[in-house]
Amino acid sequence: MIGSKPFVSGFRLSGVKGIEVDSPQELLQEFEKLTNREDVGLIILDEDLSKHVRDRINKVRIERAVPLIYELSGIRSEKEKVDYRSALRRILGV
């Protein structure tokens, strides 16, 4: 779990560990650290921050099957409409 303080705090209440960051660049740094760990199978990202560095995140998605990377809408954001067909094409290089 990587995200803003309010985002991570909500998950901590349910026992999920998280890393608090203040900017998309910090999120990306922590994200890259976690992707290099073999004991991490799932990374949940605060979409309010991750949307600014999504190209880099998608590159990791293309290169690796593990960890599974999931972006959740943040506290401040409206639900973003995602074109999954287009995203899948980019990932598959079609």
pLDDT in tens, 28-73: 999 999 998 999 999 999 999 998 999 999 998 888 889 999 998 8
CA dist., res. 83 & res. 86, Å (int): 5
Residue-range domain boundaries for the chain = 2-92
pLDDT of 2 reads 93
86: left (phi > 0), else alpha (psi -120 to 50), else beta?
Answer: alpha
Looking at the domain covering 2-92, what would its CATH class be?
Answer: alpha beta
How large is the average pLDDT for residues 5-30? Answer: 90
